[in-house]
Chain A
Amino acid sequence: MSNHIELFDSARKGDRRSLSKLLTAIESGKSISGLPNPNWTLGITGPPGVGKSTLIGRMIQHWSSSGEKVAILAVDPSSPISGGSILADRLRMGEASLLDSVLIRSLATRNHPGGILPYLGQMCSILSECGWTRVLIETVGSGQSEIGIVAFADRILLVDGPDRGDIVQSEKAGIMELADIIAINKADLSNSKASFASVLEALSLGEDGPIPVHLVSAFDGTGVEGLIAELEAFQPSKKKVGLRQLERLIANWNSLLLTHPQIDSQIENLCDGSITIREAITSMGTSMDFGGDVNDWQ
């Protein structure tokens, strides 16, 4: 069994088997120090069933035919009961499984309290170092843990469907603040235009300046080229970069807290009232185990 540094060396030379094993090693807690930031990352999130994976299938087609190498990290929730998961996103990403320029890796959130995967930044950097020029992180939903996942990317695309529009109304404070571009998918359905208009209207009430909204159809390809062009040209504002760093910090911090060796006993103490929240924080904070490699988290 070769160690992860050796795996990294041969993965950088283009060995796909080594890269795959290395990602497993990173998932199980190993890390590579001194990695530069990844070149180009995109986080994609949105409610279930709006067509994120199908849209990614279109992006794969576009990028792989223009000479880019596309890696996708598909994050799926694990069952809270059994800890198991069904990772089926790749089956909707189309006929890309045989292209050398496409890599799809499914990641389960199991063993990670709060659904936080603190090593996602590492994975993006490694893929970038190994020659993957487009690195995508996909996850379903728009809650706090999904924000913590897509915040590891440098640009965030929020996908919504025509019969929904609820994401704009209910998630204003969360993902909407972080989203750089919004895609309303399923333009091939009749009610999509009305939905697109209502999203534009809702956004025009915001005070943060306009977020670009694209009406697309992953099904027939309408509007996808325009969306990709906007994603390519996008430069995040300073405010958004700050917000994303804050989310990454929160994700890593929560992960440390939730895996703290004292967490169970402190919760018990809180239940029987023997300590206060402040005392619990003070006690755990002074003994936070940052592990050997935490400095390398990104």
Chain B
Amino acid sequence: MRIVIAKPGLDGHDRGAKVIARALRDGGHDVIYTGLRKQPEEIVRIVNDEDAEVLGISTLSGAHGSLIPKICDGLRKAELGDVIVFAGGIIPESDRNGLHSLGVRAIFGPGTPSANVLDFLMVALERRNEGKPIGVGDDLGWHWK
């Protein structure tokens, strides 16, 4: 799959994003890394121009509650509702349901084995192939546990 790994906001730490990018590459995916400090609008533009099927958002700054909704809304407005969105970084348990209800299909915290991310993508692809909701613009009932 074509996957964009994005670093939104002012957070300057991208070790996690790079580890995930490498793991996804080793899993056979094409990974496009945006670099640091991208605005939500820039991330939507990159997902469009690269025609990515998946967007992974990495955030460690605590700004996930403001940035991720903007990105998800931006994708839907840009007719990119079929893009599968997941997130990673420092995201407290108490915030997770809120993000799921906005369109984030999986959230991976520190220490997640990279195999879990690959498993999620496999399941996501299966759902897509079976016509089940999985994109950010689809019904938001399902998320990875």
Interface residues of A (CB under 8 A from B): 16-17, 20-21, 23-24, 78-79, 81-88, 90-92, 97-98, 103-106, 108, 110
Contacts and interface: CB of A to CB of B under 8 A. Distances in A.
Given A20-B49, A23-B51, A97-B45, A90 B25 contact: no
A88 B32 contact: yes
Interface string B15-32: 000000110111111111
A147 to B, nearest CB: 23
25 contacts: A16-B49, A17-B79, A17-B80, A20-B48, A20-B49, A20-B51, A82-B25, A82-B26, A82-B28, A83-B28, A84-B27, A84-B29, A84-B31, A85-B25, A85-B31, A86-B22, A86-B31, A90-B32, A91-B33, A91-B35, A91-B36, A92-B35, A97-B45, A105-B50, A110-B30
A83 B78 CA distance: 30
B35 A98 contact: no
A37 to B, nearest CB: 24
Contact of B24 (A84, A92, A110): A84
Interface residues of B, number: 28
B27 A97 contact: no
B32 A97 contact: no
Given A82-B27, A84-B28, A90-B35, A106 B21 contact: no
Interface of B: 21-22, 24-36, 38-39, 41-42, 45-46, 48-51, 78-80
Given A92-B35, A98-B41, 8 more contacts: A16-B49, A78-B30, A84-B24, A85-B30, A87-B50, A91-B35, A97-B46, A106-B32
Contacts of B78: 17
A86 B25 contact: yes
B25 A84 contact: yes
Contacts of B35: 88, 90-92
Given A82-B25, A82-B27, A86-B21, A104 B33 contact: no
A97 B34 CA distance: 9
Contacts of A20: 48-51
Contacts of A83: 28
Contacts of B42: 97-98
Contacts of B21: 86, 88
Contacts of B27: 82, 84
B122 to A, nearest CB: 14
B26 A106 contact: no
B34 A87 contact: no
B51 A97 contact: no
Nearest to A91: B35
A72 to B, nearest CB: 10
A84 B26 contact: yes
B29 A21 contact: no
Contacts of A97: 34, 38, 42, 45-46
Given A82-B25, A82-B26, A97-B38, A87 B51 contact: no
A85 B42 CA distance: 22
A138 B129 CA distance: 34
A104 B30 contact: no
B51 A21 contact: yes
Contacts of A88: 21, 32-33, 35
B9 to A, nearest CB: 15
Nearest to B35: A91
Contacts of A82: 25-28
Contacts of A17: 48, 78-80
A232 to B, nearest CB: 25
A108 B78 CA distance: 25
A103 B50 CA distance: 9
A16 B46 CA distance: 11
A206 to B, nearest CB: 39
Contacts of B79: 17
